[in-house]
Structure 1
C-alpha cells in the first residue's frame, strides 16, 4: 500500500509540474500575441490621427515618455509619438487621460500638428456606461471626429468644451460628465503641448513600453 501511495504521489507531482509548465507556456505565448495585437491596433490608430504625409520615419521609432499629471491627467508616463520629417518635428500623437470620467479614467490619444492644431482624436480605453457615455467610441458615434481642426487661441479658449460650459461640443443625451471630462482632457493636452513641446524630443525613449 505504501508503494502504491508513493507511486500515486509521484504521478500527481509530475502531473502538477507538467500542468504548470503548460500554463506558463500558454501565458507567455498569449502575452506576446496580445502585445502584438495591441501594437498593431495602436499603429492603426496613430495612422488615423496623424496624416501619413506628415512624416518620413515610422511614428513608433520616435516615441518618448512624458509626465505631467496636471495637464496629462496621470502621474504615470504618457507616450508622445513625434512625427519627424527630414529630422524636424512636424506633428505629435500624444496620450492623455481624463481622470474624471463618469466611471473612472478615460484614456485618449490625440494627434496635433507641431503648432497645436488637432489632426484627430481617438479613445484608447474607458469604462463609461454603454448607451450613455460610450459615444466617445468611433464605432458608436462620430462625436470624436469633431475635434479635427481645432486649436487653442489661448489657454482660456472655451471652444473645446461642452455647450453647457460655453464650448462647441454637444453633450450626450443623459450624459454630460463623460464629454465634459473628455473635452477637458483634450484641451489640457493642447496646453501641455504649447507649454512643453520643446521638452518632448529630449524625454526618455518609450521603446517596449505599453499603455495602460
Structure 2
C-alpha cells in the first residue's frame, strides 16, 4: 500500500463519520420537533388530571392550567393554579414537598378560600414499597384524612402523627413517611395563609 492511498483512506473516514453524525442529528431534531407538541399535550393532560383529582367536581369552570401565579417558597418557585367560577377564585392548587425516609415526597393539594384542604394527593415519592407507599391513594385511603382540615382544625399542636400526640395515623414501621406528609400539608396551608391576597388577586 502506498502512502497516498493510505492518506486518502484516513481522510475519508472522518468525513464519512461526520456525515453520518450530521444526518443522525438532523433526524433526531426532526423527530423531536414532530413529537414536541404531542408530548406537551400529554403532559398538560396528566397535570390537569392530577389537579382535577384534588378539586371537587364542578368547583371550577376555568382552565386552571392557564390561570396561574408564581410565588417563592423556601427559595423555590411555586406555581399556584387558580380554580374559578366566573371571575371568582374558589380554590388554589399547588405542590409542596418534604423529605421523607428515602427522599423528597411531592404533594399536590387544593385549598379553598377559608384555608381548608379540599384534597391532597402524593404525586411522587421513593418510599419503601409495602410500608411508606401507603401514602398513595391507590394503596390506602390514609391521604384522604386531610380533606376538610385547616390550620384551626385541628389546632396547630395536633398537626402531627399520633406518635407525636397529633391526630393523624402513622404506619407500622414507617412513621417518618406520614410525618413528612403531615408536615408538607401543614406547611402548604401556612404558605396559602401567608400569601392568600396574592393568590386570590
TM-score (norm 1): 0.82
The match for 2:21 is 16
1:1-212 equivalences under 5 Å are 1=5, 2-27=7-32, 33-69=38-74, 75-98=75-98, 100-153=99-152, 156-202=155-201
The answer as to whether partners of 2:92 and 2:199 remain within 8 angstroms in 1 is no
Question: Which structure ranks higher in relative contact order (CA pairs < 8 Å, sequence separation ≥ 6)?
Answer: 1
For this pair of structures, how many residues does the alignment match?
196
Q: Which runs of 5+ in 2 are unaligned?
A: none
Instruction: Return the offset for 1:107.
Output: 1.2
Q: Is the 8 A contact 1:64 1:201 kept in 2?
A: no
Work out whether residues 120 and 148 of structure 1, in 8 Å CA contact, stay in contact via their aligned partners in 2.
Answer: yes
CA RMSD of aligned residues (A): 2.2
Secondary structure of the structure 1 residue equivalent to 2:122: strand
Q: From the superposition, tell whether residues 176 and 26 of structure 1 become closer, same or farther in structure 2 (CA, over 3 Å).
A: farther
Larger Cα-atom Rg: 2
Question: Separation in 1 of the partners of 2:141 and 2:164?
Answer: 21
Which stretch of the first structure deviates more once superposed, 84-93 or 152-161? 152-161
Q: Identify if the C-alpha distance between structure 1 residues 163 and 59 changes in structure 2 by more than 3 Å, giving closer, same or farther.
A: same
Moved more, 155-164 or 34-43: 155-164
Helix, strand or coil at the partner of 2:166: coil
Structure 1 runs not aligned, ≥5 long: 70-74, 203-212
Deviant stretches of 4+, over 6 Å: none
Q: Is the 1:90–1:114 Cα contact (8 Å) retained in structure 2?
A: yes
- Structure 1 residue 161, shift from structure 2 partner: 2.1
Is the contact between residue 158 and residue 166 of structure 2 (CA under 8 Å) also seen in structure 1? yes
Q: So what's the TM-score if we normalise by structure 2? A: 0.86
Separation (CA, whole Å) in 1 of partners of 2:190 and 2:154: 6
Partners in 2 of 1:165 and 1:147 — Cα distance?
Answer: 17
Following TM superposition, by how much is the alpha carbon of 1:195 offset from its aligned partner in structure 2, in angstroms? Answer: 2.5
Q: 2:46 & 2:37 partners in 1: Cα distance? A: 14
